[in-house]
Structure 1
Amino acid sequence: MKSILRIFKFLGKLILGILILFLFLGMCYRLFSSKPVPPGQLVNVNGTNIHVRIDGNKKSLPTVIIEAGAHGNTDMLHWIAEGLKDKTRVIRYDRDGKWYSESSNSNHRSPEFYAEQLHELLKKTGDKPPYILVGHSMGGPYNRIFRDLYPNEVKGIVFIDSSHPEQWNRLAQKELVPKGQAKLFKIGSILADLGILGIYNKIFSKEPYQGDDLPKEAYSRSQSLTYNSGDVFKMFLRENELTNDVLKRAGEAKKLDSLPVLVFTATEQYKESQKEKYRKAGIDPEKELQLWFGMQKELKELSSQGKQIIMNASHSSIITKKVNADKINKEILLLSENIEKKKQN
């Protein structure tokens, strides 16, 4: 019995020693590691520094504003911006409290808050309408709210596998971040704030580059910012709380009448290799795909000038893979040119 107790005491001291070592190394990581540097510029909007990246020069075509999804950032939009910047001015930014943008002191952010902040940001950068709004995933609903508030400034909308106001009511998934995943985000936030996640990644992580066709530096920036502190995890959780309000407000927005609209719909999230995963979770992938297609069609039908394009891509690779972005950019430029022709006539 005494030998067993000695073993337990030894194991307890060993575990405690390892924990103390990781806490010490984490503290050193937080103190001495360099903070990630924003690739764009920080623009003060009503006391909050918002991260914005501007490519290309203003020409005859409308300025393109790209709105990222809930977990997205400006680096994920790399190939869209690259493919458009030689033809027109392209703006991508991180919403309030996301990635490189500071979080404002506002206790309550209404769905309109983000559109109003973007509108003020565009004033600060010297940009003027007309605009074409491009939104990936949750970026679509944010763009619908912006257009609802500033209808005369928007001359076209592009939905890239966009979220739909009714998606949580119709799909098997009922929230942006499921409860189990939310718990992991909370733990990740604590570990990142302690520096443990960062030091673990430095010492043990040997994962190969997984940038989904993005440039390696873009992928590395996102990874570095995630491990630097718990802010990224907290941002995921905060945006999860806002999603229902944003979707509801987008659903209340006026129809788009004859506004030119492009809808790009991805299919690979329900591809053959993923079907077994859905079935194990009690979800019929074929039914989910049809529901998603139906909602995407409804986005197209918001306008009498809507056009839907089916893409052999996943929800993320539809923008992160250059070959997919090239197809999207070709359609955006055609849309821009048609808008300019109508303006001249």
Structure 2
Amino acid sequence: MVSLWGSKNKDDDRPTQDGEEDHTEATTSQPQPNRRSEEATERTRLLPRNDRGQGYLSPDDPAVSPYNLWSVRALRWFEVLFLLITCLWWVLLFISIFVSPPYFNSRGSGFFDVAYTTLTIGNILTALLFFATPSTAMSVLSMATSVLLLIDMIIILAVPRIRVEEGWIGIASVIWAALIGLYNVVTNKTVKWGKAEEEERLTGRQETRRSLREWCAVFTATFLMSIYVVIVVLLTAVLVLRSRDATLPAPGKRYLVDNDQYAVHFACVGNQTYYPNGKPKPTVLLEGGYMPVEDSFEGWVYDAWTNKTIDRYCYWDRPGIAWSDNAPSPHSAGMSADAISEALAVAGEDGPWILVSAGVGSIYSRVFSARHPRDIRGMMFIDGLHEDLLYKIANPGRGFILWGRGIISPLGLDRLAGALFKGRTKEDRVFGKSSYQGGKFIKNKLQENLVANSLTKNEVVTARNIQAPKVPLVVVTSGVHLKKDKDWERKQEDLTKVTEKLVAWDIVKGAPSEEIWRSAEGRKVLEKRLGELYQAS
């Protein structure tokens, strides 16, 4: 061993003779193949191999990343593009709640569209935040979300009433949400494959362990995706409730108005009667207050019809209430008056009319009366709202609360609880005490809030200036309300001056505020005064 090493050293130290090549220098200086000159691909090694080993990187090296693959980078770019498109769509939907762009209005509330789009944005953001940390849980939850969204799409398309309310906007929103969920499943699996590919290429093996940071990312992503699944379950449950409610037949008919943009519900009880001279007798036309006419307001009028106090009455649901569609935004009292006027014309109803209204409905009746001066034979205000008090409806805080309620209304937290634990029926949800929980009803109140102290107030002030002065008028006020609010008493007194022909101003003691008909004394007074108006006409 020693002689061999010595021999080698001796040969190395021997001077080179003339004409003899120095093989050592030749070997050292001989140019090696230039690996860098070869065209690089995504599979080209980052470190060259050498005699000491394979040149693998540490699994913790930042260079070990699925982003090295162009396919993974392309998927992420598309994810960002989808986020931009979805955000733009969300902005359009948000604006349409307050001001409907042309051909962008929905006959439903529009809150479902916003809910699906908000869910899509959350889904995309989660995918982007945890893009490089794929997991089986994310794939499973994304797939579950997509399947539920596809079920929602089937429900919307299968139920005609829901399909009409949601329109192409709602259908497009739910389809887009489902497609994004499926895309995220594909992305998650592709990144998982790319991560394994890069680890094998750069570290020599696939890394099966996760760092604490990666485990935190997986846990957070799984938690968020679980929330999305719960949200979609609630959306689906509410759609099932809506499909059940859609089977409830309307008492009357729905008429398309405003260039067929939406439909309103109109119904009548009793047949048209005539005087001996052939002229038609007046029909009582009801205008509800805060709640739908069918809730309880119609009850005492039905009793009056049964008792032959009146021969016929009709009623309608303002846009967004009971069986009526939502109207495009903004929507004022004057627009509602135009809607019922158009519906009456289509239905072949010419009047004449005795207008009976409660609460804020008195505002709508007054505008309608001013636009049909020759057809009005009497008016009755039941705790009617004065135009000077419209600012209470237009309160910004109230509007913000309504908007917030509308945004969460698709989850149906209160509606589902009522159906499951309180036995709420579809009648109760459509026109009863639970109807205020629906998105359509909330949008109606939000629209009312947005223009109450501007468009609507201007319309009712104008109506007062052109109101026919000889129309018989009855004002009935809740005594309970008067005790609570002295300003209300002054405004009620001013309502008695809307026309010059006041028949009576009754104050019913003990009657509930804005629901005088719920007391026995109130129903007695209301039927008596309605009969007097009917006979006087």
TM-based fold match above 0.5:
yes
Quick one: structure 1 residues 305 and 101, their matched pair in 2 at CA, closer, same or farther if it must change by over 3 Å? same
Q: Which residue of 1 aligns with 2:254?
A: 42
Deviation of 1:127 after TM superposition, in Å, equals: 1.6
Matches within 5 A, 1:50-61: 50-60=264-274, 61=281
Larger proportion of helix: 2
Deviation of 1:132 after TM superposition, in Å, equals: 0.6
Report if aligned partners of 2:373, 2:467 keep a CA contact under 8 Å in 1. Answer: no
Q: Which of residues 299, 311, 317 is equivalent to 2:508?
A: 311
Report if aligned partners of 1:79, 1:325 keep a CA contact under 8 Å in 2. Answer: no
> Could you give the per-residue CA deviations for residues 141-199 of structure 1, whole angstroms, max 9, x where no partner exists?
2111112111111111111111112225xxxxx42164444343333223321343333
Report if aligned partners of 1:165, 1:251 keep a CA contact under 8 Å in 2. Answer: yes
Q: Which of residues 428, 446, 456 is equivalent to 1:246?
A: 456
Matches within 5 A, 1:263-342: 263-269=475-481, 271=483, 285=484, 288-289=485-486, 291-306=487-502, 307-312=504-509, 313-321=511-519, 323-339=521-537
| 3-state secondary structure, aligned to 1:308 | strand
Q: Do residues 130 (structure 1) and 340 (structure 2) align?
A: no
| 3-state secondary structure, aligned to 1:197 | helix
Q: Do residues 32 (structure 1) and 230 (structure 2) align?
A: no
Supply the RMSD in Å over aligned alpha carbons: 3.2
Report if aligned partners of 2:353, 2:377 keep a CA contact under 8 Å in 1. Answer: yes
CA distance in 2, matches of 1:198, 1:189: 13
Quick one: structure 1 residues 124 and 80, their matched pair in 2 at CA, closer, same or farther if it must change by over 3 Å? farther
Q: 1 or 2 for the larger relative contact order (CA 8 Å, sep ≥6)?
A: 1
Identity %: 21
Report if aligned partners of 1:62, 1:336 keep a CA contact under 8 Å in 2. Answer: yes
Q: Do residues 186 (structure 1) and 382 (structure 2) align?
A: no
Amino acid aligned to 1:293: E
Q: Do residues 175 (structure 1) and 392 (structure 2) align?
A: yes
CA distance in 2, matches of 1:329, 1:167: 27
**Which structure 1 segments of 5+ residues have no match?**
1-11, 169-173, 210-215, 272-284, 340-345
Report if aligned partners of 1:188, 1:197 keep a CA contact under 8 Å in 2. Answer: no
CA distance in 2, matches of 1:21, 1:321: 47
Deviation of 1:334 after TM superposition, in Å, equals: 1.7
CA distance in 2, matches of 1:116, 1:164: 21
Amino acid aligned to 2:237: Y
**Which structure 2 segments of 5+ residues have no match?**
1-219, 275-280
Q: Which residue of 2 aligns with 1:274?
A: none
Report if aligned partners of 1:30, 1:195 keep a CA contact under 8 Å in 2. Answer: yes
Amino acid aligned to 1:30: V
Q: Which residue of 2 aligns with 1:23?
A: 231
Amino acid aligned to 2:264: I
Amino acid aligned to 1:184: I
Q: Which residue of 2 aligns with 1:171?
A: none
Q: Which residue of 2 aligns with 1:231?
A: 440
| 3-state secondary structure, aligned to 1:85 | helix
Q: Which residue of 1 aligns with 2:367?
A: 145
Quick one: structure 1 residues 167 and 31, their matched pair in 2 at CA, closer, same or farther if it must change by over 3 Å? closer
Aligned residues: 300
Quick one: structure 1 residues 18 and 124, their matched pair in 2 at CA, closer, same or farther if it must change by over 3 Å? same
Which structure would you say has the larger Rg?
A: 2
CA distance in 1, matches of 2:490, 2:376: 25
Q: Which residue of 2 aligns with 1:75?
A: 295
